[in-house]
Amino acid sequence: MAQSAREYDRIRTVLAEADPDEPLTAREILQLLEAHGEQIDSAHRIATVLGRAARERDVQVIQSSPYRYRLET
């Protein structure tokens, strides 16, 4: 669980800096992370971390195809 919390913090930091206007897919978030020098294994891992975080944190999961994610800043 500690690794998931660290990954969430890294995702949140990069998204806060990027300040996207629209919700992003896990793949788009992965591309942003890579552009900022952050390593997370895959878009699937990002989806897992954000899906779990949505239960107790300020993550909105938009159920579309593909799913999109918005973090309240």
CA–CA separation, 57 vs 67, rounded Å? Answer: 17
3-class DSSP string for 3-65: HHHHHHHHHHHHHHHHCCCCCECHHHHHHHHHHCCCCCCCHHHHHHHHHHHCCCCCEEEECCC
What is the average pLDDT score of the chain? 92
pLDDT tens readout for residues 35-60: 999 999 999 999 999 999 999 888 99
CB neighbours of 19 closer than 8 A, spacing ≥ 6?
A: 73
pTM of the model: 0.90
Tell me the domains of the chain and their CATH numbers: 2-71 (1.10.10.10)
